[in-house]
Amino acid sequence: MMEQAKLSVTPGRDGLLFHLSGSWILQGGIPDVGEALQRLRAAGAVKQVSFDAAEVSDWDSGLLSWLLVVEEFCQDHSIRMESSGLSAGVGRLLALAHAVPPRKGAQRVARKRSLLSDVGNDAIDALRIAGEFMGFFGETILSLLKMLHGKAVYRRSDLWQVIQDAGVRALPIVSLVSFLVGLILAYVGSIQLQNFGAGIYVADLVGIAMTREMAAIMTGIIMAGRTGASYAAELGSMNVNEEIDAFQTCGFSPMEFLVLPRMLALMLMMPLLAVYADLMGILGGAVVAVAVLDLTLLEYFIQLTKAVSLADFCVGIFMAVVFGNIIAVIGCLNGIKCGRNSQAVGMATTSAVVSAIVMIVIASAVLTVIFDVLGV
């Protein structure tokens, strides 16, 4: 059994004498350096600190770290530290620690930041991210214009592949979510409409809500979590493997070769998926109308045609196109701008999903206000 490390302090010549004994190793535990510093403060005007380590059986870096803290305190308070009472090995290590200066920036000093500073830094980060988004979006518009003039360089086979991934393969999840959203809207609305004997108007509620807002929003959120995350992960992995650098070295523009097909795919598929989501949501509302409100399908669809106008349908389609652009740009931006390791790919994927969903909600609110002002 190793002997426990012990520390005792006695008055010495012109100061204090620290008696060290026992096993000063980290595994066995060493005395708290704060107690030694407290004794130094309580002693008042101390000119010198000396040590008696004759009874130290063994030691490791724990003793050296303890002594360095005491030495730093002595230097700050103009106290002379006499190390002649320490063993030769400890003395050599202390001298080596002084001979090699600490690397600049190796020690980070924790600074208490004010609330105003945090708000300012967050605002600067938000402006920087917004600037990156607008710049990247501008580059995608330029690539789109080059494609319209027949000058963009990309593979048509890649375009059809991403169209299939963003379209047909997304139908099952879009069907399920849209059907359930329509069913929930109809059921919640029927609870209140039945109190007034106006159950027939559940068709108005489901039809207008799905065609104008909910179909496009829910489809956008689904595609942000499914396709937007896929874009960010795929391009991020290509960035880690330096494939994007290889494209640039070979003279291919990543914006045209990688981003443009993905943006076109979502621009084409999002409106179609939104129309399909309209249908599934209306069918979900029909289930509630027939099962809960005792309406016939004919009554439900006749009321639906009276309530939903072409303008409502066009508003939803326009929103779907906007959401498709948002998802594609944010997903590709986070993928291309991600770091060079696997952790960065995961962070880029998460950021793409969260940012796309937030932007979809913000864009939906802005467009709703604009259409209301325009009377659409």
Q: What is the DSSP string of 73-102?
A: HHHHTT-EEE-TTS-HHHHHHHHHHHHSPP
Separation CA 303–CA 123 (nearest Å):
49
Q: Looking at residue 110, what is its pLDDT?
A: 47
- From CA 58, how far away is CA 5, in angstroms rounded? 9
Sheet holding 48-59, edge to edge: 6-12, 15-24, 48-59, 80-82
Q: Is 90 exposed, middle or buried (0-12, 13-18, 19+ CB in 10 A)?
A: buried
Total-model pTM = 0.67
E strand spans, the chain: 6-12, 15-24, 48-59, 80-82
Per-residue pLDDT of the chain (376 residues; tens, 9 = 90+): 557 778 888 876 667 788 888 888 877 777 888 877 887 777 767 778 888 888 888 788 778 888 888 888 888 878 888 877 788 888 787 777 766 665 655 555 445 667 888 888 888 888 888 888 888 888 888 888 888 888 888 888 888 888 988 888 899 999 999 999 999 999 999 888 888 888 899 999 999 999 999 999 999 999 999 899 999 999 988 888 888 888 888 888 888 888 889 989 999 999 999 999 999 999 999 999 998 888 899 999 999 999 999 999 999 999 999 999 999 999 999 888 887 777 888 888 998 999 999 999 999 999 999 999 988 7
Give helix 260-291 / helix 297-307 axis angle, nearest 10°: 130
> What domains appear along the chain, each with residue ranges and CATH number?
6-99 (3.30.750.24), 125-374 (no CATH)
* Token pair listed for 298: 């004919």
